[in-house]
Amino acid sequence: MDKLDAPALRSRIESFARAQGISRWDLGAASSSDSSVQVDRGEAKQMKAAQRSSITVRVWNGEGLVGITSTSDLSDAGLQKALSGAQDASAFGNPDDSPAFSPLATAPLQTLEQPLHEPRGILELLTSLKDAERQLLDRHPALTTVPYNGLAERSSERIYLNSDGACRQQQLTTASVYLYARAEQAGRKPRSAGAVRLAYGAASLDIAGCINEAAERTISHLDYAPITTGHYTCVFSPEAFLDLIGAFSSLFNARSVLDGVSLSHKDSLGQSLAVPFLSIVDNGLNTGNIGASSFDGEGTPTRRLSLVEGGVLQNFLHSEATARAFGVAPTGHAGLGAKVSVGPDWFEIGATPGAAGAALGLDRHAASGQNAAPGGGLVLIDSLSALHAGVKASQGSFSLPFDGWLLQGGEARSIDAATVAGDIRTLLNAIVGFEGEAKVTPDGLCPYVWVEGLSITGEA
């Protein structure tokens, strides 16, 4: 991949901007080189390699209105055309929602420990994935295929520049592997489960751990049975709970608040949102966050931000524009655009330090019979599905199919098919404790989370 040269790019843009009479501009540039493979029963199913480069340019006119354009043509002619297009588009900018430069776009960045790895090459990736598929299928006679799988590596680079002197640049290499197995038995429904691993390079991927987790989770669902509809105490896996919080991240999103599509309001800060021992932090700088960015789309440094502390809503995620509207500093969660998007980086969820929260045990709680289920038992929710369709973030409601187990009488049995439903605000106030050490996942850090009284609908 051709490396982007931030100082050289800045010099070219400044020259072209002066020639066109543009005094205020910024840009975000990205370049990447990707290789990925998929296999099917020992044969290559798909092999892809791609190089991509793009630049997004914003220009402010004399009236303070902003225009934006994007291009993949990084030649002199392409950059000049992008500046000219953004300048022309600025005449149609929205005077009621005009972004500005982040006041933190030149602030110091935290150094991230992100080792750069040389690519292994697509043929070596193919060999590794074929071997992983074979090992996974050898784990159990019922494992017949691995219909969804992939091994990929990427080298990428990001740049942010503006006419006030900001100059950000970051290089990164990442790799990922996912294995999603399918098990079939005569007279029984097919069962599926999977696992994923991330690393800074393909040679560092825990492929063996991915194989073990995918096999264990899939095999554990072979012996399944229906569940009686009712209200249960549920235990969310770290992955499932992080998915749920991510689906309702508009609770913490200042852009969503200003647009009126969040359950939160401008005066919600300082109000109770959850049980008094819950802590939710957005921390893109956590060392467990493979692929962390040191700055956002506006050049604002990434930082640790407490969202919920002691059950109380403490902060919103901000861009420059939303921070200006709230009278606070940008938080480093912005994209780049005429109307800038805002989004979370990486959640840390657990007990507020010093708070009196329950530390529970699966066996102890199940044996005590402390639940509201019709036939007793505890529901362990392993993974949620259809988050795009089953969540109404602006209303707070959710109804989601899930994979999991019913823990009853000292035994765990996979649930045939079921849906968990509720309201996110009610759920956050029905948390009764956490189980075990917090687990690092691709989306964040979280322990098992216990919640009382959730509605479970079994298969009719």
Q: What is the mean pLDDT of residues 240-268?
A: 97
Per-residue model confidence (pLDDT) at position 3: 67
Question: With bands split at pLDDT 50, 70 and 90, how would you rate the model's confidence at 409?
Answer: confident
The domain boundary, picked from 194, 218, 242, lies at 218
pLDDT at position 77 over 80: yes
Say whether both 232 and 207 belong to one domain.
Answer: no
The domain boundary, picked from 218, 248, 282, lies at 218
Question: With bands split at pLDDT 50, 70 and 90, how would you rate the model's confidence at 357?
Answer: low
* 3-class SS letters over the chain: CCCCCHHHHHHHHHHHHHHCCCCCEEEEEEEEEEEEEEEECCEEEEEEEEEEEEEEEEEECCCCCEEEEEECCCCHHHHHHHHHHHHHHHHHCCCCCCCCCCCCCCCCCCCCCCCCCCCCCHHHHHHHHHHHHHHHHCCCCCEEEEEEEEEEEEEEEEEEEECCCCEEEEEEEEEEEEEEEEECCCCCCCEEEEEEEEECCHHHCCHHHHHHHHHHHHHHCCCEECCCCEEEEEEECHHHHHHHHHHCHHHHEHHHHHHCCCCCCHHHCCCECCCCCEEEEEECCCCCCCCCCCECCCCCECCEEEEEECCEECCCECCHHHHHHHCCCCCCCECCCCCCCECCCCEEEEECCCCCCCECCHHHHHHHCCCCCCCCCEEEEEEECCHHHHEECCCCEEEEEEEEEEEECCEEEEECCEEEEEEHHHHHCCEEEEEEEEEEECCEEEEEEEEEEEEEEECC
Say whether both 238 and 206 belong to one domain.
Answer: no
Q: What percent of the chain has pLDDT over 90?
A: 88
Asked, for residue 1, whether it belongs to a domain, the answer is: no
Say whether both 230 and 352 belong to one domain.
Answer: yes
Question: With bands split at pLDDT 50, 70 and 90, how would you rate the model's confidence at 1?
Answer: very low
What is the distance between the alpha carbons of residues 42 and 83, in angstroms, rounded to a whole number?
A: 50
Question: With bands split at pLDDT 50, 70 and 90, how would you rate the model's confidence at 206?
Answer: very high
Q: Domain containing 11 — which CATH number?
A: 3.30.2290.10
Say whether both 228 and 212 belong to one domain.
Answer: no
Asked, for residue 58, whether it belongs to a domain, the answer is: yes
Per-residue model confidence (pLDDT) at position 410: 86
Domain that holds residue 118: 6-218
pLDDT at position 369 over 60: no
Say whether both 132 and 170 belong to one domain.
Answer: yes
* Residue 11 Rama label (left phi>0; alpha psi -120 to 50; beta): alpha
Say whether both 335 and 383 belong to one domain.
Answer: yes
Per-residue model confidence (pLDDT) at position 42: 95
pLDDT at position 101 over 90: yes
Q: Are 150 and 172 in contact (CB under 8 A)?
A: no
Say whether both 166 and 287 belong to one domain.
Answer: no
Distance set, CA 259 to CA 170, 254, 262, 265 (Å): 32, 9, 8, 10
Say whether both 179 and 262 belong to one domain.
Answer: no
Say whether both 259 and 122 belong to one domain.
Answer: no
The number of folded domains in the chain is: 2
Token match 């038992």: residue? 377
Q: What is the pLDDT of residues 40-65, one digit of tens each?
A: 999 999 999 999 999 999 999 999 99
Say whether both 214 and 234 belong to one domain.
Answer: no
Say whether both 47 and 112 belong to one domain.
Answer: yes
Say whether both 163 and 277 belong to one domain.
Answer: no
The domain boundary, picked from 156, 184, 218, lies at 218
Taking alpha carbons only, the member of 395, 151, 378, 169 closest to residue 260 is 395
